[in-house]
Amino acid sequence: MAGIDLRLSDVDPPLPEPKRTIYRDIVNLPDPVILGMTIRYFNFDDVTLYFQITGSGTGYSFGTVNLGSLASGANAYINLDNFASRAKPSAGSLINGELDEQITLTLRAYTDAGYSILKWTFNRVISVKFINSSDPAFTVDIVNNFDDGTVQGWAGTGSGLDAGFPQVAVATDYVLSVPYSLKMTSDWYITGPGQKNAYLFKSITTPNRNTVYAIVDIRVSELESDTRIGEKNLRVRNGTTDLIFLGGPYAASTITLIPLNKWMRLIVPLAKNSVIDLRYFLEWHVSAIGVSNFTYVWIDDFKVISKN
C-alpha cells in the first residue's frame, strides 16, 4: 500500500475505490463552469505529513490547495470549493445530451511545512459527465419549480430541533425560477446546543428508462454569520444511503465544512422503474444558543429526466 491515499467515497483503504463520476448539467450554468468536490485523504506513513492537492485535465484550469498537516494514521475530509474551471461545453458538443470526460487529481505529501521535501505522490482519475437536460434525447418526467405557490409534495423533518421545525413553505427571498423557491427553516432555541439535522424529502417513482437523473439547485444559509454554528455536511440520499456527500462527518465544533450563501447544482443518477425516497439532508453542530437560531435550505428547479 502507498503511504497516502485519496478518495471521493466513504470506502476505506485497502478496499478498492468505487468508480466516481461528477455529473454536471449545462442548462443555465455560467461560463466558465466551476468545479468543486469533497475529498478524503489518508496518511499511512509513520510521520506527520503536509498535504497538497491539485489536478489536471484537457481544457481545465486547476488550483493548488495546501491542506496542512495530517498525523500518522489519520485521515481528513475537505470540501474543495471553486477548485477547477473549464469553458462551458456547447450544447452541440454533447452527443445525445451527454459528454464524458476524465480529470486526474494529484495528492502530494511533504515532510515539511514549507512543502519543499516531497515524499509521496498519489493520482486518482475520476469521470466528469456533462449533460444537457433540455436536449431532445431526454424526457422530462418531473418538474418541481414551486411557481404554482405550493410545495408540490415536498416535506421536511429533522432531529435536535424545536417543536414545529423544520418548517417547509414556498419563498421569494432566494429564487432561480420566479416567483417561488422552496424553503426549509430550522430552529433549536429551546432544544439547545448539540447535533442537529434536517432534510427535505419526497417519494418519487422513476420511469422505466435506462438512464435517469435527478437534478436540483440548492442553497444553504444561516440567519447571520454565527460562530455558534458549524454546518458539517450536505447530502443527497435515497433513504439512508448517501448518493452525494459534501463536507465532512459530524464533529462537535463550529467549523463549517460546506459552501454557504450560494446556489449549487446537485445531480444524481437513479435506478429506473423504482420508488425513491429522495432526501436533501443537512447536518450541523451548535455550541450555544442565542436570540436567533435559524438555518435555511432552499431548493428550486428540481427535475427528473430520463432516456433510453
Within 8 A by CB and 6+ apart from 15, the residues are none
Supply 284's cell numbers. Answer: 450541523
Q: Are 263 and 217 in contact (CB under 8 A)?
A: yes
Q: What CATH superfamily is the domain 139-307? A: Galactose-binding domain-like (2.60.120.260)
Q: Render pLDDT for 163-193 as a digit per residue (tens, 0 to 9).
A: 999 999 999 999 999 999 999 999 999 999 9
Topology of domain 4-131, CATH: Immunoglobulin-like (2.60.40)
Q: Is the link from the previous residue into 30 a cis peptide, with omega within 30 of 0?
A: no
**DSSP bridge partners of 106:** 54, 123
- HEC profile for 75-110? EEEEEEEEEEEECCCCHHHCECCEEEEEEEEEEEEE
pTM of the full predicted structure?
0.94
Domains 4-131 and 139-307 share a fold: no
| Domain chopping of the chain, boundaries | 4-131, 139-307
In this predicted structure, what is the pLDDT of residue 160?
96
**Cα separations in angstroms, 232 against 33, 179, 196:** 25, 30, 10
pLDDT by position in tens, the chain (length 308)? 689 999 999 899 999 999 999 999 999 999 999 999 999 999 999 999 999 999 999 999 999 999 999 999 999 999 999 999 999 999 999 999 999 999 999 999 999 999 999 999 999 999 999 999 999 999 999 999 999 999 999 999 999 999 999 999 999 999 999 999 999 999 999 999 999 999 999 999 999 999 999 999 999 998 766 678 999 999 999 999 999 999 999 999 999 999 999 999 999 999 999 999 999 999 999 998 877 789 999 999 999 999 99
